[in-house]
């Protein structure tokens, strides 16, 4: 049996999904968090049922890619749990009526029930149940209130065989139902609502955005540097280094196998960045350089997502984003891209047109460095001075703007207008924030560590057989002539296809000047997506557009790298 | 455009309240049925309202 969780965007379907199945799903406070569906199973008496968390949709007449997915899923579901935002029946019941017309058994979860009380909304649940002809259960998915009753009522889902209506008849029916079941008492503005209004007004919104972004950036740095300096570096240097050094002398200090496992010793000591063995750089790069940054970035992002600030940032950014051929909502996948480009490119599905998705995905994979790469930039380039880090970020930002303006002129098609629901501000719940942080961190570890370890082995083998030297000599005119990097740097660019953090780490032993590090970081960030991003780009854009995007990336990287080499 | 707006409950005869608008032809934020919706300038200017 297939149970579909369906409802408008941002009504808590994913939170309910986690409650029903125990499967963790990303929950945030903005419409469009779930862009693909998630499956899980739950026990219903004796039976085991499949539960599908369907992307949010306002209507069964799809207006975006995510809504098309929702419609396809509906065709092979058995029961729909229609999740309804109890604080906004006027709009949510439209989808409910559409579902009832489809003749599929429905049970309604009246979610966010806790908010109705302080908003002064009084709903007569029994009357609503009678008017709709299906079970209606008040729930609070984030705390678990009403979930047990909802589960008991899923087998009682019924299809009242509602007659097909036209759009106007349906809205009229929604109006008459809400008039009968809902009573609203007036009340005063809360401080959260005042803050909410301030964040979409021209002057105050700009000040708020600066404050939010600056404090987010500071928090990310503070947490990640704290973790590195006080936890991970001491662990690696004081506990792990002696162990590896013992192993190194046991293996005879040198040799093919030694170089793969331990790497090359620098002045008889283990150098976690430069040694490049499985047990040295292979562990240090992902765990002590990248992980702290990933954790702190996703902690801060999770808090921002759950407060409901991001859609307001989209409103503020809308005018600027229009110049790049996008609208304000594209800022959300772009911010996700600062964590990892893969979910960011998937996230471009919230944009309506193909043109926007192409522009957004191309800009993200060129000019938005992921957390892993940023961690390495902060670590390696930052060691030369903060101004060089600023140069890297500044260049990427300028490229993002200029390339966006160019793509806006060249790419055919149209970009629709911004149209988004702005959710109320909510205080983030620690449980959701930490659960989301854990899922994303675990995702990073599970994906990054095998690839990083594999890359270390491959790099050592290729070095051993002199493959890199051959490539380096072949590409020397471009790498040395155009970019001003030593010819060995091409190996790093090639490895960038596997993982960019390892690739940037490969520049460390080359003793580059600060200027060369800036050029190297920028080119590495822009040149080509890593393999994970490449696969998603291919799937989301198709072969032809992927090739176009790849061409743009390579051309931009070489042009910008060349210019940087000349002017720095 | 009509489809997208009506999906959000913005349709002829509905009472809407303007909350704010961004500078330089930025989005207009309105409130309809206690929900705030931000609408791009190009779309917003084609919504004709009657003052209460």
Task: Look at residue B50 and tell me if it is in a domain.
Answer: no
Task: Look at residue A518 and tell me if it is in a domain.
Answer: yes
A551: pLDDT strictly greater than 90: yes
Distances (CA, A) of B44 to A150, A292, A389, A417, B13: 40, 44, 41, 9, 16
Q: Running DSSP on this structure, what letter comes out for residue A239?
A: I
Q: Give residue-wise pLDDT tens across range A517-528.
A: 999 999 999 998
SS3 A34: coil
Residues A254 and A167 in one domain: no
> For the residues A173-191, what does the mean pLDDT come to?
85
| List of chain A residues whose C-beta atoms are within 8 Å of the C-beta of residue B19 | 197, 200
Number of structural domains found in chain B: 1
Residues A144 and A230 in one domain: no
Query: Looking at CA atoms only, how far is residue A88 from chain B in angstroms?
Result: 7
SS3 A113: helix
Q: Which of A422, A424, A425, A426 to probe by mutation at the B interface, max B CB count within 10 Å?
A: A422
The answer, for B27 touching chain A at a CB cutoff of 8 Å, is: yes
Burial zone of A229 (CB within 10 Å; 0-12 exposed, 13-18 middle, 19+ buried): exposed
Structure tokens at A339: 């964590």
Distances (CA, A) of A73 to A2, A39, A97, A336: 10, 11, 18, 26
Most confident of A392-401, A460-469, A489-498: A392-401
Q: Where are the alpha helices (DSSP H) in A411-429?
A: none
Task: Look at residue A198 and tell me if it is in a domain.
Answer: no
Residues A171 and A210 in one domain: no
Question: Which pLDDT score is estimated for B34?
Answer: 85
Residues A179 and A248 in one domain: no
Indicate the angle between helix axes A543-567 and A514-527, nearest 10 degrees: 170
Q: Give residue-wise pLDDT tens across range A7-19.
A: 999 999 999 999 9
Question: Which pLDDT score is estimated for B9?
Answer: 85
What's the start-to-end Cα distance of chain A, in Å?
A: 64
Number of structural domains found in chain A: 2
The percentage of residues in chain A with a pLDDT greater than 70, rounded to a whole number, is: 99
Q: Which of B24, B35, B42, B45 to probe by mutation at the A interface, max A CB count within 10 Å?
A: B35
Structure tokens at A183: 């009573």
Look at residues A184, A212, A233 and tell me which one is the last residue of a structural domain: A184
Task: Look at residue A334 and tell me if it is in a domain.
Answer: yes
Alpha-carbon distance of A509 to A505, in angstroms, equals 8
* Beta carbons of A63 and B19 less than 8 Å apart: no
Question: Domain residues for A124?
Answer: 2-184
Q: Give residue-wise pLDDT tens across range A38-82.
A: 888 898 888 899 999 998 899 998 877 778 888 888 988 999 999
Residues A156 and A214 in one domain: no
Alpha-carbon distance of A171 to A158, in angstroms, equals 22
Task: Look at residue A196 and tell me if it is in a domain.
Answer: no
* Beta carbons of A59 and B24 less than 8 Å apart: no
Element (H, E) at A136: strand A136-138
> For the residues B13-38, what does the mean pLDDT come to?
88
Residues A228 and A114 in one domain: no
A371: pLDDT strictly greater than 90: yes
Residues A301 and A402 in one domain: yes
> For the residues A210-230, what does the mean pLDDT come to?
93
Q: How many CA atoms lie within 13 A of A95 on its CB side?
A: 31
Does residue A431 or residue A130 have the better pLDDT? A130
When pLDDT is cut at 50, 70 and 90, the band that residue A331 belongs to is very high
Alpha-carbon distance of A494 to A343, in angstroms, equals 23
Mean pLDDT of chain A: 90
The answer, for B31 touching chain A at a CB cutoff of 8 Å, is: no
Interface of A with B (CB under 8 A): 58-59, 61, 63, 87-88, 90-91, 94, 119, 167, 171, 196-197, 200-202, 205, 311, 314-316, 318-319, 327-328, 416-422, 424
A188: pLDDT strictly greater than 70: no
Task: Look at residue B18 and tell me if it is in a domain.
Answer: yes
Q: Which of B8, B19, B26 is opposite residue A419, by nearest beta carbon?
A: B8
Look at residues A136, A156, A184 and tell me which one is the last residue of a structural domain: A184
Residues 6+ apart with CB under 8 A from A87: A112, A115, A116, A119, A121, B34
Residues A261 and A301 in one domain: yes
Task: Look at residue A194 and tell me if it is in a domain.
Answer: no
Task: Look at residue B28 and tell me if it is in a domain.
Answer: yes
Task: Look at residue B17 and tell me if it is in a domain.
Answer: yes
Task: Look at residue B27 and tell me if it is in a domain.
Answer: yes
Look at residues A184, A219, A253 and tell me which one is the last residue of a structural domain: A184
Query: Looking at CA atoms only, how far is residue A314 from chain B in angstroms?
Result: 9
Residues A376 and A500 in one domain: yes
What's the start-to-end Cα distance of chain B, in Å?
A: 25
Q: Where are the alpha helices (DSSP H) in A310-429?
A: 310-323, 331-337, 341-347, 354-367, 371-376, 386-410
When pLDDT is cut at 50, 70 and 90, the band that residue A160 belongs to is confident
Question: Which pLDDT score is estimated for A381?
Answer: 94
Residues A432 and A488 in one domain: yes
Alpha-carbon distance of B9 to A319, in angstroms, equals 25
CATH code of the domain in which B20 resides: 2.30.30.90
Question: Domain residues for B28?
Answer: 2-44
Task: Look at residue A191 and tell me if it is in a domain.
Answer: no
Q: Give residue-wise pLDDT tens across range A433-489.
A: 999 999 999 989 998 899 999 999 988 898 888 888 888 888 888 888 899 999 888
Q: Provide the ipTM.
A: 0.93
Residues A178 and A213 in one domain: no
Task: Look at residue B23 and tell me if it is in a domain.
Answer: yes
SS3 A83: strand
């Amino acid at each position: 049996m297939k149970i579909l969780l369906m409802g408008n965007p941002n009504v808590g379907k994913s939170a309910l999904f986690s409650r029903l199945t125990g499967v963790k799903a990303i929950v945030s406070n903005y419409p469009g968090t779930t862009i693909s569906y998630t499956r899980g199973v739950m026990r219903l008496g004796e039976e085991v049922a499949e539960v599908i968390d369907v992307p949010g949709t306002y209507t069964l007449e799809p207006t975006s890619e995510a809504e098309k997915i929702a419609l396809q899923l509906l065709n092979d579901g058995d029961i729909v749990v229609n999740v309804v935002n109890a604080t906004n029946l006027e709009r949510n019941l439209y989808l409910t009526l559409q579902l009832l017309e489809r003749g599929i058994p429905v049970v309604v979860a009246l979610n966010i029930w806790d908010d109705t009380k302080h908003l002064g909304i009084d709903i007569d649940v029994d009357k609503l149940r009678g008017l709709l002809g299906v079970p209606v259960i008040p729930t609070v998915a984030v705390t678990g209130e009403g979930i047990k009753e909802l589960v008991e009522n899923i087998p009682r889902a019924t299809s009242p065989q509602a007659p097909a209506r036209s759009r106007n008849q349906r809205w009229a029916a929604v109006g008459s139902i809400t008039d009968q079941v809902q009573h609203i008492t007036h009340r005063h503005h809360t401080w959260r609502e005042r803050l909410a209004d301030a964040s979409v007004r021209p002057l105050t919104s700009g000040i708020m955005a600066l404050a939010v972004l600056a404090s987010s950036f500071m928090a990310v740095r503070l947490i990640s540097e704290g973790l590195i300096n006080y936890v991970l570096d001491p662990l690696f240097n004081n506990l792990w280094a002696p162990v590896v050094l013992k192993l190194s002398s046991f293996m005879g200090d040198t040799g093919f196998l030694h170089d793969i496992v331990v790497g090359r010793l620098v002045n008889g000591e283990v150098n976690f960045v430069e040694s490049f063995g499985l047990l040295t750089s292979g562990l240090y790069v992902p765990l002590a350089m990248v992980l702290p940054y990933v954790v702190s970035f996703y902690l801060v992002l999770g808090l921002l997502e759950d407060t409901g600030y991001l859609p307001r940032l989209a409103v503020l950014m809308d005018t600027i984003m229009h110049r790049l051929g996008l609208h304000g909502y594209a800022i959300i996948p772009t911010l996700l891209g600062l964590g990892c480009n893969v979910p960011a490119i998937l996230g471009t599905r919230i944009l309506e047109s193909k043109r926007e998705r192409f522009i957004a995905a191309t800009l993200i994979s060129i000019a938005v460095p992921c957390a892993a790469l940023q961690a390495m930039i902060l670590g390696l380039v930052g060691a030369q001075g903060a101004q060089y880090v600023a140069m890297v970020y500044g260049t990427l930002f300028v490229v993002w703007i200029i390339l966006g303006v160019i793509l806006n002129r060249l790419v055919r098609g149209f970009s629709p207008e911004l149209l988004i629901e702005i959710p109320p501000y909510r205080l983030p719940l620690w449980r959701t924030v930490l659960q989301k942080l854990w899922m994303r961190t675990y995702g990073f570890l599970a994906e990054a560590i095998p690839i990083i370890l594999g890359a270390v082995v491959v790099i050592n083998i290729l070095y051993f057989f002199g493959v890199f030297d051959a490539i380096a000599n072949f590409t020397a005119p471009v790498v040395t002539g155009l970019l001003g990097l030593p010819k060995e740097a091409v190996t790093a660019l090639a490895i960038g296809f596997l993982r960019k953090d390892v690739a940037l780490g490969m520049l460390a032993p080359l003793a580059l000047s600060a200027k060369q590090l800036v050029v190297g970081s920028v080119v590495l960030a822009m040149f080509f997506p890593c393999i994970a991003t490449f696969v998603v780009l291919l799937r989301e854009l198709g072969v032809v557009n992927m090739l176009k995007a790849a061409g743009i990336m390579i051309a931009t990287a070489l042009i910008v790298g060349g210019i940087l080499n000349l002017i720095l | 455009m009509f489809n997208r707006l009506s999906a959000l409950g913005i349709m002829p005869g509905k009472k809407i309240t303007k909350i704010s608008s961004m500078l330089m032809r930025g989005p207009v934020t309105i409130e309809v049925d206690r929900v705030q919706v931000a609408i791009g300038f190009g779309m917003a200017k084609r919504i004709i309202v009657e003052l209460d």
